[in-house]
């Protein structure tokens, strides 16, 4: 399939079918030129996709297919994704400006790793168990929740699509996947690979859409569960729509994560961890550590290293391997980031590096990687998610205040502690009210639950908790002799 140009079809019921809606323009954030047009699903298209998924769930073979056979189809998808890592990387860089080295090492690799971890988790998942006590015996089963609407953002399009679709289908669900309008092209590739992997018709359907049709999908009576990743503002709206019909939902939302740098921390390790930990994907990742908390005694030393880090990160063409900071996804996103930079200056923060548009780049939605010091916890740039390459340094008097500052946020998605005393670091990590905390930059991995406290969301993805999200427990009371034979 040729990815550039005009597309007129949607992937519904295992086929590429004509769309009824208008077209979306996919625009390169580097050249600012249209690279493709794709259909924007209208409510009629959404109805057709939901009906296909509903039919596949109610009457198709997939929910009743033995688990090993479902796993085999997913394994074939994993193999195909592994074979297509380079086109996936190129497409994501084309669509949203992620530097190509990061697209190759993260955006195209993680979908494969997610499937590997999910298959291993699924093989030991308790889909059936017998529980007995003095009051009775039950066969407890984990039944597929039904038809899932998977709504994914533009910043990690393939990876987040996979982390929703794969556990859902392994649990026996069927899916309507709605990619973001800005990054619909990699979803076309995913549809082709799903078709080749051997999924039955209607198990996975893919429809790009804008807001009105997206709400139609989320509120559709044929949908049993919504899994959404995106902004907290959009998450509130989805939660309200789902709450009206008591529809299940998982929400992975925004973050304003803090990195606590203790006085004994290795600052070279801290700064190198923040290269990707604070600036990955041009600052457009919800888990990035955008608040760096450091004692007054070590602030100057850390700030100088952070300034050097920014100087070492080339800004430019995201297709060039030397580039570490590419353009933001859209002109609107750049305006948003520039608004926050202006707010930081207006409220009295000290601009140490960046803050403008890079010289010599007359096209592309670029913002220089930016560093503020003198940031107080009540400032806008310390409280609101910016979603761009902007880092704030906040000082603390002691460790207790550092934890208080880290927790003084409506968000609770991620965080980090840096120290050479790892046991002390572990104790402090347990006091941070976030779903994930990284100790000295070490990731939690793809078998650990991922999700947030507070306004960062509801529910978890990855690990057995990620499978739980796509199942409903059912208990069947058993006679003692049958319970004994099944135990």
3-state secondary structure 324-335: CECCCCCHHHHH
* Interatomic CA distance for residues 266 and 437, integer angstroms: 18
The answer to whether the CB of 242 falls within 8 A of the CB of 249 is yes
- For the chain, the straight-line distance linking the first and the last C-alpha, in angstroms and rounded, comes to 51
Q: Which residue has the tokens 């990035």?
A: 288
Could you tell me the two tokens for 346? 């207006």
Question: 317: how many CB neighbours lie within 10 A of its CB?
Answer: 19
* Interatomic CA distance for residues 226 and 218, integer angstroms: 7
The answer to whether the CB of 181 falls within 8 A of the CB of 209 is yes
Burial class (CB in 10 A: 0-12, 13-18, 19+), 200: middle
The answer to whether the CB of 291 falls within 8 A of the CB of 259 is yes
Question: For residues 86-99, b (16+ Cβ closer than 10 Å) or e, as one string?
Answer: eebbbbbbbbbbbb
Q: Per this entry, what is the length of the chain?
A: 487
Identify the three-state secondary structure at position 152: coil
Which residues carry out catalysis?
A: 252, 286
Identify the three-state secondary structure at position 11: strand
């Amino acid at each position: 399939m040729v990815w550039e140009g005009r597309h007129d079809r949607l992937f519904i019921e295992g086929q590429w079918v004509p769309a009824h809606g208008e077209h979306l323009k996919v625009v390169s954030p580097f050249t600012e030129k249209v690279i493709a047009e794709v259909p924007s699903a209208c409510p009629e298209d959404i109805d057709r996709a939901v009906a296909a998924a509903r039919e596949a769930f109610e009457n198709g073979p997939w929910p009743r297919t033995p688990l090993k056979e479902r796993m085999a189809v997913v394994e074939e998808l994993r193999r195909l994704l592994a074979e297509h890592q380079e086109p996936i990387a190129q497409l994501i860089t084309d669509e949203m400006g992620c530097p190509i080295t990061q697209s190759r090492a993260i955006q195209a690799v993680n979908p494969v790793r997610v499937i590997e971890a999910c298959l291993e988790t699924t093989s030991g998942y308790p889909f059936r168990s017998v529980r007995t006590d003095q009051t009775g015996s039950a066969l407890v089963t984990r039944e597929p929740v039904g038809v899932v609407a998977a709504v994914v953002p533009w910043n990690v399009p393939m990876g987040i699509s996979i982390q929703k679709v794969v556990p859902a289908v392994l649990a026996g669900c069927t899916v309507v996947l709605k990619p973001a309008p800005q990054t619909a092209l990699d979803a076309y590739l995913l549809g082709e690979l799903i078709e080749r992997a051997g999924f039955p018709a209607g198990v996975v359907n893919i429809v790009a859409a804008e807001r009105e049709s997206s709400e139609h999908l989320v509120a559709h009576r044929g949908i049993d569960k919504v899994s959404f990743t995106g902004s907290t503002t959009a998450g509130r709206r989805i939660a309200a729509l789902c709450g009206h019909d008591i529809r299940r939902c998982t929400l992975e939302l925004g973050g304003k994560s803090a990195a606590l740098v203790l006085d004994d921390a290795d600052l070279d390790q801290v700064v190198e961890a923040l290269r990707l930990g604070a600036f990955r994907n041009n600052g457009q990742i919800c888990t990035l550590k955008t608040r760096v908390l450091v004692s007054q005694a070590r602030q100057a030393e850390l700030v100088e290293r952070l300034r050097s880090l920014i100087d070492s990160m080339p800004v430019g063409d995201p297709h060039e391997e030397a580039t570490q900071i590419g353009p933001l996804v859209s002109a609107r996103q750049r305006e948003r980031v520039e608004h926050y930079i202006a707010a930081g200056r207006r409220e009295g923060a000290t601009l140490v590096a960046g803050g403008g548009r890079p010289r010599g780049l007359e096209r592309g939605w670029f913002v220089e990687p930016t560093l503020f010091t003198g940031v107080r916890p009540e400032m806008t740039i310390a409280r609101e998610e910016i979603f761009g390459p902007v880092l704030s340094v906040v000082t603390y008097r002691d460790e207790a205040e550092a934890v208080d500052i880290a927790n003084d946020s409506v968000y609770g998605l991620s965080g980090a502690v840096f120290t050479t005393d790892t046991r002390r670091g572990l104790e402090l990590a347990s006091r941070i009210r976030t779903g994930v905390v990284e100790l000295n930059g070490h990731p939690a991995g793809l078998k650990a639950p991922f999700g947030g406290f507070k306004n960062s969301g509801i529910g978890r993805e990855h690990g057995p908790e990620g499978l739980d999200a796509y199942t409903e427990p059912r208990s069947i009371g058993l006679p003692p002799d049958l319970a004994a034979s099944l135990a």
